[in-house]
Structure 1
């Protein structure tokens, strides 16, 4: 029986594996390394995060992005975006040097068993472990607006479904969304000769500012320090103090995690969008249906101008719709967990699993990492930035649980009543 199974081999999973291996745990890691970055992003995209805020985490801090780039003759400088392909290759390099060999099979089911958990792989093999860390990334949580869900994938897709946009060359595509994924996808489409428009619910697009120089007068740094999530003390708090964020009232955490660092385009993509892409602000898809014998989509679109309570309904036809509408990380979408295990998870008001200060769920021995922990630990968990804090903290929690030896029990969250109706004690 393994001490720990890590399910997922992206930045969070690989970072957890590195810390667990250094701690001497007997572990196994499952998943296609850096799959989201290799399989779900088109060539030509760049990291929105600064290179120095895009490091995977090993205990000694040796295997960082700038070191990999230096070995490849590539610059990793402040204010210069890194290609997604370079970042994906960095993750593979990191895995080779810091983590045990990754088993690229997919885990399709995690089930409680005496003494821990069993994991079933796609080819029918079963593995047992005392603890499990789920680091499944964002793909299980893809969000497509309700009005578009009934249409086939030939007509509607999510921005994360594409690693190659060339099939849209010469066609008409409508992108829904106003964040980086929407705007960079639209820019890439326009640059390859696709007729593209962007529908944005907001009255206008938001753009991130060009970052200030790394070295600047002390008083400027004091007023707005650099952080992995942008300049300013609030962003610094989100980036550097996830543990303190976890202590905030749940209502505050839920509000901040859902509103902070909202949809915005990177400064370096702005010139590629403005003047090249048709942008329709204040537009929302109300309904959609296929036309031209299934070769296109008719969108019924509500157009609202600032201050208006009602909107004008119009229609437009397009060959394909790409929904760049983000991800919704909730308990019900953790479908690789067995139904009884999923039912054991206490959820927050945001619908995500409650986690302790060491990322342990309400089912002892089951740890969570990445986007699904953002309501508990803040906006940093939506970015690579959060991997370092998560990896070190989670592995400490795993070691604590292994020492305690009481895996498998369900412990209701603080302030909640358990299934028996008795008050739950504090944990974590």
Structure 2
């Protein structure tokens, strides 16, 4: 019987595991470390976040991205994008140093048990734990426009389905979306000789500005402080105060989570897209059907005017929508026990515990509760420390005699006053 079983071994799962191990909890982590980053992102992509905002979280901040890069003599610095491959390798390095050995089997089912929870692995072993943290990343929540659903995967795919875009070389591809995934995918396709267009329902593409220098006059820094989500006081609040964000009214939190930091391309992609990629703006996909050689798309603009175009393949870079009903990993009884907000995201307490006692959630699923930072690696730092405090609190209520010890070689870290658990 484990104190905590973490399902998922991406940035959030590994960060939670590092804090839980530091707290002396008996722990098991299931999942292939950094699988999304290793298997579902094309080579040649870069992190949109700043390197200093892309650290996985350990209690002593010993295993930072810049530390990893220094050990490999890799360049790292403000306004210097990090390759996805480098970030994935960093995550493996973090897992090897900051986390107990990871069980790389996948979890296939999580159910309630009289002593807490039972987690079934893909090969049929049943593991039991008093508490469970789901850190399942984004892949369970991918979104594809309704008009494209049901078409053959050979004709329509999601941007997260591709580790290698090479098989599209010399073909005609339409990318749906106006955010970073769509624009960087289009750039990579164009650069390898694919005929590519971007189709977006937005009236214009939005591009992030080149970040200002790290060292600036005090008055510039005061007006628009740096944060893990970009410059400005609003971004600073989202990035650095998730605990305060959680205190906002639910309606405000849901609205902000849905609209803040909307689709935009990184500054370093713009020059690769604008001169080289055809862009059709202001059009949404209204219909699609298979035709000889590919797909015929019917689009509609805001004035009701239609346009028809044919393409060999459609890549939907249309993001993810994290809702409780997509948590197929949970048994029906467990999933049905979860209270939800207006956007069907889970209701969470101030320490990431769901309405089912002992079940904690991390990552994209928590964006409506704790803000836009939870859509980025940067949110893992707040999540890990806060969530593990919640786990310890829950274990104290289920095991009154339990005593939590921290190894002597480690120093205690002060807990943020804004989110006691």
TM-score with structure 2 setting the length: 0.94
Give 1:337's aligned residue.
330
Matches within 5 A, 1:308-347: 310-347=303-340
Give 1:162's aligned residue.
162
Give 1:286's aligned residue.
286
Matches within 5 A, 1:254-269: 254-269=254-269
Greater shift in the superposed pair: 204-213 or 68-77:
68-77
Tell me if 1:298 matches 2:291: no
- Out of 382, 385, 388, the position equivalent to 1:392 is 385
Distance in 2 separating the partners of 1:314 and 1:189: 24
Give 1:190's aligned residue.
190
Q: Could you tell me how far 1:40 is from its partner in structure 2?
A: 0.5
Q: Could you tell me how far 1:115 is from its partner in structure 2?
A: 1.2
Partner SS state of residue 111, structure 2: strand
TM-score with structure 1 setting the length: 0.93
Q: CA offsets, 1:78-127, max 9 Å, x none?
A: 00100000000000000000101111111010000011000001100110
Gaps of 5+ in 1: 305-309, 408-426
Distance in 2 separating the partners of 1:266 and 1:36: 20
CA RMSD in angstroms comes to 1.1
Distance in 1 separating the partners of 2:146 and 2:301: 18
Distance in 2 separating the partners of 1:274 and 1:300: 24
Q: CA offsets, 1:354-405, max 9 Å, x none?
A: 0000000000000000000000000000000100000000000000000010
* Structure 1 runs, 4 residues or longer, greater than 2 Å off: none
Distance in 1 separating the partners of 2:83 and 2:304: 40
Greater shift in the superposed pair: 397-406 or 181-190:
397-406
Give 1:227's aligned residue.
227
Q: CA offsets, 1:271-302, max 9 Å, x none?
A: 0000100001101110000000xx30000111
Matches within 5 A, 1:166-181: 166-181=166-181
Q: Could you tell me how far 1:164 is from its partner in structure 2?
A: 0.3
Q: Could you tell me how far 1:311 is from its partner in structure 2?
A: 2.3
Give 1:252's aligned residue.
252
On the 8 A contact 1:134/1:368 being kept in 2, the answer is yes
Give 1:96's aligned residue.
96
Distance in 1 separating the partners of 2:352 and 2:91: 23
Partner SS state of residue 95, structure 2: helix
Paired residues in the alignment total 402
Partner SS state of residue 400, structure 1: helix
Q: CA offsets, 1:210-255, max 9 Å, x none?
A: 0000000000000000000000000000000000000000000000
Q: Could you tell me how far 1:406 is from its partner in structure 2?
A: 7.7
Against the structure 1 CA distance between its residues 405 and 173, is the aligned structure 2 distance closer, same or farther, given a 3 Å change threshold?
Answer: same
